[in-house]
């Protein structure tokens, strides 16, 4: 084609303006996809923008493990110089306990506090001794000689039941007795049992009968007492538990 008939060429200066217009249109389209509150849209299932905005995470106070933000009461870690100065020490370096406070929150006068009164051992009830067991045996025969069979019966353990007789049967056993003379030997050692104490008291005695005859016996009594907490004074005292008596031949 002749040069005079060719199509005239356009200058290339229009390309930068065209690119700038395309960029502005893309920016406006992107801004239109955002929600009014400024949150980005959630992608739909098909991958296209849309859906509802994700909620912002709520602020939580404290540790997610449930532990407190700060340690418990009191000082944590080595004692500070201030704490060391707050503790008063005596001349031996031992901590001095704080003063006792009254209902009004003020320190009480030590002179007004009740003093610890030492217990006087002499004020405590004396524990029965083996010699007390010997005295019980002597009282037993003194009651029989005096005709006080109820008193003699009560010197047996368990209110007299340890004799194996009723009070009436016990009294009837001395119907023909006019008197008893006794000789008490030194007691044996005290044996410890389950909440009880036992001691043996040897004895020899002569029984005078109404017909003028005399019967001689030898043997001993076993006495016991209770030592458990809560026992009564009667249970703690020596009482006759059993007898091993045999008659001597004339």
Closest by alpha carbon to 240, among 172, 126, 144, 124? 144
CA separation for the pair 41, 50 (Å, rounded): 5
For residue 136, what pLDDT is reported? 97
Terminal CA-CA length for the chain: 182
Length of the chain in residues, anyone?
250
The reported pTM is 0.52
Helix (H, G, I), strand (E, B) or coil at 234: helix
- 239 bridge partner residues: 224
For 241, the token pair is: 């538990």
Assign 204 a pLDDT band (cuts: 50, 70, 90).
very high
For 21, the token pair is: 């217009």
| Cβ–Cβ under 8 Å, residues 122 and 115 | no
For 36, the token pair is: 């009014």
Helix (H) or strand (E) holding 215: strand 214-226
**Choice between 54 and 174, residue whose per-residue pLDDT is larger:** 174
CA separation for the pair 243, 187 (Å, rounded): 14
How does pLDDT run across 69-101, given as a tens digit for each residue? 555 555 555 556 555 555 677 777 777 777 777
Q: How far is CA 151 from CA 51, 56, 79, 170, in A?
A: 107, 97, 73, 11
Q: How far is CA 47 from CA 31, 53, 159, 250, in A?
A: 18, 15, 102, 130
Residue appearing with tokens 């003020």: 106
For residue 107, what pLDDT is reported? 75
Neighbours of 201 (CB within 10 A): 22
130-247, CATH topology level: Nuclear Transport Factor 2; Chain: A, (3.10.450)
Work out the mean pLDDT of the chain and round it to a whole number: 76
How does pLDDT run across 45-63, given as a tens digit for each residue? 554 455 556 555 555 555 4
Closest by alpha carbon to 214, among 188, 163, 174, 177? 177
How does pLDDT run across 115-171, given as a tens digit for each residue? 666 656 555 567 889 999 999 999 999 999 999 999 999 999 999 999 999 999 999
CA separation for the pair 177, 215 (Å, rounded): 10
Provide CB contacts within 8 A for 216, sequence distance 6+: 204, 205, 206, 207, 247, 248, 250
CA separation for the pair 38, 91 (Å, rounded): 74
């Amino acid at each position: 084609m002749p040069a005079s008939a060719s199509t005239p060429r356009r200058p290339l200066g229009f390309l930068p303006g065209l690119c700038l217009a395309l960029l502005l249109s893309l920016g406006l389209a992107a801004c239109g996809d955002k929600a009014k509150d400024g949150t980005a849209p959630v992608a739909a299932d098909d991958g296209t923008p849309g859906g509802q905005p994700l909620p912002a995470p709520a602020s939580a106070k404290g540790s997610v493990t449930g532990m407190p933000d700060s340690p418990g009461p009191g000082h944590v870690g080595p004692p500070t110089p201030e704490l060391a100065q707050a503790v008063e020490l005596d001349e031996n370096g031992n901590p001095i306990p704080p003063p006792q406070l009254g209902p009004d929150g003020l320190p009480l006068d030590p002179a007004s506090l009740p003093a610890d009164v030492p217990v006087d051992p002499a004020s405590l009830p004396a524990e029965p001794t083996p010699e007390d067991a010997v005295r019980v045996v002597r009282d037993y025969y003194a009651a029989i000689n005096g005709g006080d069979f109820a008193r003699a019966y009560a010197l047996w353990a368990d209110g007299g039941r340890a004799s194996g007789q009723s009070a009436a049967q016990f009294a009837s056993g001395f119907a023909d007795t006019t008197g008893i003379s006794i000789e008490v030997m030194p007691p044996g050692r005290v044996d410890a049992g389950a909440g009880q104490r036992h001691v043996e008291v040897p004895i020899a005695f002569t029984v005078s009968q109404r017909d003028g005859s005399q019967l001689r016996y030898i043997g001993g009594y076993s006495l016991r007492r209770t030592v458990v907490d809560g026992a009564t004074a009667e249970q703690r005292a020596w009482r006759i538990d059993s007898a091993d008596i045999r008659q001597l031949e004339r």
